[in-house]
A and B are shown apart, each in its own frame.
Chain A
Amino acid sequence: MATFDVIIIGGGPAGYTCAIRSAQLGLSTAVVEKDKLGGVCVNIGCIPTKALLYSSRIATVVAREAKELGIEVGAVKTDYGVAMKRSRRVAEQNSKGVEFLMRKHKITVIKGEGTILPGKKVRVGGDTHEAKKAVVLATGSRVKGIPQIGLEIDRTSVISSDEALFLEKHPGSLAVIGAGAVGCEFADIFNSFGSKVTLIEALPRMLPLEDTESSDAVAKSFRKRGIEVIAGAKVSKAIVGKDKVTLTVEAGGKTQTIEAEKVLMAAGRAVNTEKMGFKEAGVELTDRGWVKVNLATLETAAPGVYCIGDVAGPPMLAHKGSREGVNVAERIAGLKPHPIRYDNIPSVTYCHPEVASIGLTEEQCKEKKLDYQVGRFPFSANGRARATNETEGFVKIIREKKYGEILGAHIVGGHASEMIHELGVARENEYTVEEVDLAVHAHPTLSEAVAEAALDSMGRALNI
């Protein structure tokens, strides 16, 4: 039995970041992790998929553009197994990196499954540890299937990202259920490696939480690459065979049958709240299954027990969790951190073209009856984008008419994920579209499209 100031259950991006900040503030800190440090993000989520998407992007560029770029490569062959092994090395390096950070900050890593006990105690195996100041729950989430329609994840025919990341070979055909970020990224990856991909979404459009224009742009791009996109679709029946899954899909008043070697479930995640003593310790859950927290303090119903990351509620994003980790650590240390602006968390999908957004969509602005003007700039009018063959997509900025507030920003394009932060900084500091334009943007860069979209929202774009 050991005593710490803070014990964090879960070593994913929320948990390990919370641990580092706690240690920085002089608190003795322990992290309980049953698997590898870095959690889903580092090991079976964000990081390895980005490695695979890089392979997929290069494969596409080499196959389609090499000749035009003056490069002779002959016939292009891809090997998913090789790309997968590289993605594992990348994930491994990142997990090692987290281990190093734990050592650097003298954070105790306790291996095993943590159970919270009343009175800020945590049991791991036979040992019980005590937290003097706080216990932080950062237990994360996991993939889930849809057993109601016969799509229980069986890890062979019906798989999740957990299995897709370890396949030795790409499937001949793949049906992806759920066209959110995860579904779109895997559709992109396996399409590039030669699978026949069908992307199925229950809501009326793919990337349903993004601005309609973003969804439409990606759908168009995907279809051009040969990915079949079926939105507003209901999977009414699934017959899971040995090497084949047959789905009955209803969409647009028609019923069709889709056969695929494998089905990838990418329709939501379940949070990890079971068998860890939450209830007994006084931690309450919401109707939808997340841990109930006071959003201002991230404290649960049990005093001295905080909750961060996926298990604390949406959006289920690594960067939201890590920010909550920092915030909670500062609170535990007696500081008064700035409140987290949940309306200013960027959302990114890393398929090609990438989709990034922050703030409100145009639909939400309409619903709220805000008086707004949209500024747009297409990458087809941007010199740098033309030079690098990345003319798909656009920057869209929604400006509040009276004061120029940036209500929302939406970027579709080759490097959207890297470009959204300019608008995040602007929104965080309450810059208006004018300040975004006033900052001189280097030429030629893709970011010029951001400044041009800002200008366009005031009706005075220069280069279009």
Chain B
Amino acid sequence: MENQITFTRRGAWAGARAALPVALGAGAFGIVFGVLARQTGLSLAEALLMSAIVFAGASQLVALGLWVTPLPVGALIVTTLIVNLRHVLMGASLHPWLAKLPRGRVYASLFFMVDESWALTLGALTGGGGDGAFLLGSGLTLYVFWGTATTIGELAGGLITDPTQWGLDFAFTAVFLALLVGLWRGKADLLPWLAAAVVAVAASYWLPGKWYILLGGLAGSLVGAFRRGD
């Protein structure tokens, strides 16, 4: 874990390739976003701009739910901030590795940090890969798929049937599960993970949007911090 960290073209390519399977799932999700954006009345340019600038699927879908005329600008921006607060935890968890890289590269790469690229990068770095460009590469793959899918969804409108019938929605869960297996260090992880699961499930029932990720992550990690299992 204390290995030298690099930032190479090879690392970026490794990330780009690793992200391909999940990018298919993200693409299916992006098509759904494009279809709904069109139904909501966003032009292709507006939907594509949102996907290119915000690049955070859940918050974009939530925004569509609030998208009425006249636009509630403040509510849209605040809601987006809240839905995406989980990124703060994710970014903090990458600090031990990224801190050794030039700031410009880190801040550029972090633009492309989404749930999937974060999880894959974490897996690569804890596995001893040691290349920070993995985040940029995996994020860029997802970015391209996300933008393309948004466009397809906007243009195809109602023609697309439910992409979940191909099991693509499970791709996210499967990737996160496989990465979690790699993080398992022993029984000390059990209680923090259980706390995270219970809080996340409860929050997903009682709170809207993506609060459950932030709250479950906080609960589980705090239990971990106070157990000092290692």
A and B from one complex = no
A residues contacting B by CB (< 8 A) are: none
